[in-house]
Every structure is written in structure tokens, then in C-alpha cells.
Structure 1
């Protein structure tokens, strides 16, 4: 038997012995290691007020095992409208999404063990983007109501309403709608705040108290200036806006929540995307139970928006 044949027979014997012992091909271990490699989760940017909380969140293994397969490979694709602080807006670089909604999005992604990308879109384009599959979900201070439920399914994540801005120290002694009788309030014209002011005015007149004098302006900033200048004793706007303004010491105002005006805001998804809906609800409930949800809200001074559990299509 020549040398080449002996060499080949010896190699074959070694391979057979290795196979009999249950050995794997040399490259299979490397392949298994690559497939089992953990996802490197996104870090919240430094300007995210909840960054410390978010970056400490670790995946929930049970939830991570059940996420839709596309999320494991492509990550979570999210759409928002980045122009409504403190809920969603751009950081100082003009590119990075920050605010409560991006914070909660990143927290949900980390709990599910997936990466995330947040895209800015005009509000009216967001639901169509979800329905066409361009985005997995929309989170953009969107009220969960019956009309929208005809298009998407919501996982409700906060309960938000209207609020009052009053001068620091509240010299007019305003604590709620009844205290507005006989006073002047400023609002944005043709919005929900104007409707509330008109309702409070009607209630005051019905109760035989002084009417509410209403000053109307094109935007929140003009309405706010009336409080600082003393022309109005209060300004009515969204509660989330009042907290953001009150956090700026230069403005010299404080926020008061208008109880009873709250509605649920939801994360919108395709109704037939059941796996994703369950995953997002599960992640949000896990964050609520762990206390991480509350810490994220507190970082943005929005604890009053907290819900006790995630609901699906709980809005009316």
C-alpha cells in the first residue's frame, strides 16, 4: 500500500472516530457562537433625562423569546413626531430623539432585548406608515379613541389631560376650574383649551359667579406671556406642556393639573400584529411592575401621567 493511500485511510479513520464520539465539524461551533451572540442593546443618549434608568434595564428572557422574529433581526422600527416637548423632541444635536415617548420606547426595546430606531414623521403620516408596515408602532402623544381604533390597536401607556399655568407662588389662589370664575385666562385659539375655557365660563355663569374672560392667541407662547405680564391669571394648555414650562425657572410659572380632563394615550400597531401587541403590552407591564416605568416618568417630571397597568384599546 503506497504512502498516499495509507494517509487517506488514516484520516478517514480519525474522522470516523470523531463522528462516533459525537464531535461536530470544526466550523459549527463558531457558527453556533455567532447565532447565540447577544444583541448589543442601544444606549439612551446623555440628553435623555431617564438615561440612567433606561441603560440599566436588562431583557426579560420570557418576553424576549416571544417577540416577532423580524424584531430580532431588524430591530423595532418606531415613528413619532418630534416637535412636542417634553413628550418628543430633538436633542441639541438636531438629530437625536428625546422626551418621554423616546425614553419609554427605548425602555420597551431593552426589556424585549431588541434594538430600536425612531423616525420623525408628520403626525398624519404616522398611522398610514404603521399600516403599510414601514413602522412597527407609533408613539406620539396619540389619544386612544374609537375613531383611531378603527385603524390601529393601542397599548395605552399614559393618561394625560389639560392643565393650568399660573404665576409662580400662585398669587391668584387658583387650584381648579371653580377658581377661574371672575378671572382672565389665556388660551390657544380654536383648540381643545379654548373649548375648556368656554365650558368653565358657562359653568361659572350657571353657578351665578363671575364670567371667565378669555384671551385667544395663535400659540402657547403668546398665551403664556399674558400670565407673566399679569394680563391673565392663568393659561390653559396640555398638562404635559405646563410641566415643561414650569420646569424653566426663567418663566416664573407653575403647573396645576385639571382633574377630570384626562384621556388615555396609546402606542398604535396593526390590529393583526398580535405578537407585537402582546410583546409591547408585556414589556410595558414588566416596566410598571419593576418600578422602571415610574422612574422614567419621574425623570421627565410627568409622574401624574402614570397608569397602573397597560391596557389594549382602553380609550373611548
Structure 2
């Protein structure tokens, strides 16, 4: 699986990122040298990319000395290793250079890293590879618009960072007249494979069958962009995704799609970590709580017009 390491501006210089197999890091010596401590005085913290909407907020964040002192052993090299999946605006996307990660999830990852007094690398991986990458120790955590569900809690421990609902993308003008789940009976729907959208689609299909109607034909794809193409290309009448993503895409007139909310689907999204890494879980929870209490978290959300997704505190495994 080809992956792309996405590095940030460190000490004012843009670190190049190129496609590499297995997520090989391209960080410089300052980012990877083993210092034996994650103390902020020993690490030159990253600057956010210029195209990151929350860059000013991120760059103003200073380390929390107490959190940095208690940082997990995996962070003692001075680097937080993060995995995400680009192409899901406004949550995760590439900057104009095609390699640098921006969006709310990368912004929050950078903010957490600064609170903990460490640098950060963000690797682009296909969705289904992310949890295995965390469990094998390649990454410290995954932040990728991942719904916190009981099933996933059997693999990773989540620190929930937003509360979001689902939505549908349909062709502009909604020619198929899809206003809610019942309208999907007998229709073709595209989704990202193995995600919460797939679970919703399969649940709607079962409901259609129980009511005596035609089932939903569910088409599964590795990424959100492939799923969207099925709608614009006419193969599917709707694509189920997160509503914030649907609204972002509907705002682009070139795509000629409309966003339809799916009421009652709100659930927490979480930062996933290896369950036995208790210190890291506590560090990330502490950093997020610190960002919430300082108001910096709210500013990050506002920069990406996502204020409605705000949580009041960092909750561990809040998905039910």
C-alpha cells in the first residue's frame, strides 16, 4: 500500500513529502532524534502549513508543562505519529501542493502535539489500514472522521473530539426525490467500505425488506471520492457520508450535488489509540481538555466553520 507522509512547516522551512511504501518517515534529524525527553525546550515545534485555515490558532498554542512532563514513553523521541485519510473536506484534505495535510483533523492533531510539546507527522492511509497501523505501533493515533462505535472499541480506545451526524449527497435538484431513509428503498446507494455510512446503508436496506419494499443496492468503495463519483456519474441515486462532508461538497457548484441531512444519526467521532497505551490515552485526553478549556478548540472549529460539532469535554469511548 503506497502511503504519503505529510509533514508540516518546521522552523519556517517546508519539509518535502513524497509517496513511500509502508509510511516511511521523511522527517529531519530535529524531528526524529532521540532526545530521551518530550520536554518542549528540547523540541522545535512545528509551524502549521500556510494554507491551514487555523494556522494562526495552532501556531499560538504553547506546551502544557504538566502534560509534557507526563507524556507517554512513545512520545519521548519528540514526535507524535498520526494517521488519517485525505480527501474528506473539511475534515481532511490536501493543500494545493498535493502532499500537505490540512483540515480540521490535521489541525487538531497539530494542536494536540503542541500541547504535549512534541512535533507531529501525519500519514495518509486508506481507511481500513488505519486501525491496524495503530495496533502494530506504526502510528500513535488515528484521527480520520472515525465514528466511535462499540465494535471499534473492541480494537482501539477512543478519545471523542466532535459530535457529528450523517447525510446524503444526491444530484442537484434531487431528481430521485430522496428526503430520508424510506426513499432509498429500491435505489442504489454508494458508501465507503467498512465505515459508519456502510452500516447505515445496510440498516436502511434491512428496514426496506422488513416493510415489504425493495431493498437498497449498496455499492462499497475504498474512499469517499469514489463513492461520490457514482452519484455524479448516474450509477447511484445517493451517497451516504458525514453531513459536514456532504455540505462541503454541495457548496462546490462544479459538483452539481445537493446535501440531505439524516436526522437522528448524530454520534461521537474519536481519536483511536492502542488500548494498552494508557499513558498516551491520558495524554491525548488531557491535551484535548486543555484545548477545550482554553478556548483554542472552539477557535479551531470556527476556522473550518464546524462550530456545531463541538463537544464540552474529552470523553473516552463515548460511542454507544
- TM, length-normalised to structure 2: 0.69
**Structure 1 pair 129–201 and aligned structure 2 pair: CA distance change class (3 A):** closer
Aligned equivalent of 1:25: none
Matches within 5 A, 1:150-229: 150-165=154-169, 177=180, 187-188=189-190, 191-192=198-199, 194-195=201-202, 198=205, 219-224=227-232
Alignment partner of 2:136 out of 132, 136, 154: 132
Q: CA deviation at 1:183?
A: 11
> What are structure 1's unaligned runs of at least 5 residues?
1-34
- TM, length-normalised to structure 1: 0.70
State yes or no: 1:89 paired with 2:93.
yes
Alignment partner of 1:239 out of 240, 243, 266: 243
Alignment partner of 1:295 out of 293, 299, 304: 299
The separation in 1 between residues aligned to 2:40 and 2:67, in whole angstroms, is 17
Q: Secondary structure at the match of 1:187?
A: strand
Q: Secondary structure at the match of 2:107?
A: helix
Aligned equivalent of 1:21: none
**Structure 1 pair 199–260 and aligned structure 2 pair: CA distance change class (3 A):** farther
Q: CA deviation at 1:161?
A: 2.3
Aligned equivalent of 1:110: 114
Q: Secondary structure at the match of 1:258?
A: strand
Aligned equivalent of 1:15: none
The separation in 2 between residues aligned to 1:161 and 1:182, in whole angstroms, is 18
**Equivalent residues of 2:40, 2:117 under 8 A apart:** no
Aligned equivalent of 1:28: none
Matches within 5 A, 1:63-82: 63-82=67-86
The separation in 1 between residues aligned to 2:118 and 2:40, in whole angstroms, is 14
Q: CA deviation at 1:108?
A: 0.7
Q: CA deviation at 1:56?
A: 1.6
**Equivalent residues of 1:79, 1:137 under 8 A apart:** yes
Q: Secondary structure at the match of 1:163?
A: strand
Q: Secondary structure at the match of 2:47?
A: coil
Q: CA deviation at 1:155?
A: 0.8
Alignment partner of 2:265 out of 261, 264, 287: 261
Q: CA deviation at 1:96?
A: 1.2
Map Cα deviations across residues 55-87 of structure 1 (whole Å, 9 max, x no partner). Answer: 121222222222124424331111222343332
Alignment partner of 1:101 out of 92, 98, 105: 105
The separation in 1 between residues aligned to 2:57 and 2:175, in whole angstroms, is 37
> What are structure 2's unaligned runs of at least 5 residues?
1-38, 221-226
**Structure 1 pair 255–292 and aligned structure 2 pair: CA distance change class (3 A):** farther
The separation in 2 between residues aligned to 1:263 and 1:96, in whole angstroms, is 28
**Equivalent residues of 1:197, 1:236 under 8 A apart:** no
4+ aligned runs moved over 3 Å, structure 1: 35-38, 164-174, 180-187, 189-203, 211-218, 234-237, 249-257
Report which stretch shifted further, 105-114 or 211-220.
Answer: 211-220
Q: Secondary structure at the match of 2:99?
A: coil
Higher helix share: 1
